[in-house]
Amino acid sequence: MLCGSSYTNGTPTDCWALAKPMDEQTLRNLLNLESEKSLDRIQIFEEIDSTNSELLRQIQAGSTENQVVIASSQTAGRGRRGRQWLSPKNGGIYLSLARHFSMDANALQALSLVTAISVLEALKELGAQGLQLKWPNDVLFEKKKLAGILLELQQKEALRFVVFGIGVNIELSADSMERIDRPVTDLNSIINEPPSRVILVAALLNRLCRNLENYESSGFSSFEARWNELDCYRMIDIEIQNGESRLIGKSLGVDSEGSLLLQTAKGIQRINGGEVFPSLRPLTE
């Protein structure tokens, strides 16, 4: 990334921004007006157990703000399906956004897909090419996981909150990669000059806040084509694992509500939960 007076989606990428540390004022200076207005509070920690857990605690304690928690490291980072999210110091971006919604809980299920699209688009703006998506919310490069998302719903009296947890690998050591039970990659491996952490966080928040506004006004239908264009396993035989059950079929992408459409031997099924793996067995007609 070159120093100059250029902008990326409203985010300045000049020498000043590249050199600045992660602090609230620097981050706010890099946010677009839409994001700045929507974020009541930004908290930055050197170390925390989990950014998601911290926001859930604050909501339970009575906080009603739309806010962000960012950490340089997590001691108990969490991923989907109870997995640990390895969070070494400055090895990645670890952030969570708490936002309240007036929509019904059923209408929120596609938010994980919208978040994954937002992360991919932000990373692409900053120079990462060849990224793809894996349903429901992983960002991949060459089928290796680059970013993951954990959404948690929290009801507090009349308010319904969603906590959006986002982890992006920036620079993982060989030891860290060996400790992860699936193929992973990091930004340093795919971008010659990765952006600073503060620029990356600003880009993520700018894109996510804009897309969440669009989702609230228009639903998932405006994101359907974008997802299907980027879906790594669309039109490929896959296996869906959900607890003890397994289902094999051809992925047809997602529908206007974010459900995965699976062509099985018994017809097309709508899938709303589970984990996708490439199938090692052919579909039985």
In terms of domains, do 183 and 251 share one? no
Task: Look at residue 44 and tell me if it is in a domain.
Answer: yes
The tens digit of pLDDT for each residue in 111-162 reads 999 999 999 999 999 999 999 999 999 999 999 999 999 999 998 777 899 9
- pLDDT for the residue 75: 86
The tens digit of pLDDT for each residue in 67-91 reads 999 998 888 677 665 566 666 777 8
In angstroms, what CA-CA distances link 124 with 117, 143, 220, 273?
Answer: 10, 16, 21, 27
Q: What is the CATH number of the domain that holds 241?
A: 2.30.30.100
Whether 228 shows a pLDDT value over 50: the answer reads: yes
Whether 220 shows a pLDDT value over 90: the answer reads: yes
Confirm if 36 and 24 have CB atoms less than 8 A apart: no
The residue written with tokens 């929120």 in the block is 108
Q: How many other CB atoms are there within 10 angstroms of residue 156's CB atom? A: 15
In terms of domains, do 44 and 129 share one? yes
Assess whether the previous peptide bond of 136 is cis (omega < 30° from 0).
Answer: yes
- What range does the domain containing 146 cover? 7-229
Quote the Cα angle for 149-74-160, to 5°. Answer: 45
- pLDDT for the residue 279: 79
Measured distance CA(235)–CA(228) in Å, rounded: 10
| Residue 15 confidence class, pLDDT cut points 50, 70, 90 | very low
Measured distance CA(2)–CA(14) in Å, rounded: 8
Q: Tally the domains of the chain.
A: 2
Q: What is the CATH number of the domain that holds 138?
A: 3.30.930.10
Last residue within a domain, chosen from 198, 213, 229:
229
- pLDDT for the residue 18: 45
Q: How many other CB atoms are there within 10 angstroms of residue 246's CB atom? A: 13
User: What values do phi and psi take at 253, rounded to 5?
Assistant: 90, -160
The tens digit of pLDDT for each residue in 151-208 reads 999 987 778 999 999 999 998 767 776 777 678 899 999 998 888 999 999 999 999 9
Task: Look at residue 79 and tell me if it is in a domain.
Answer: yes
Task: Look at residue 284 and tell me if it is in a domain.
Answer: no
Measured distance CA(217)–CA(213) in Å, rounded: 6
Q: What is the pTM of this model?
A: 0.88
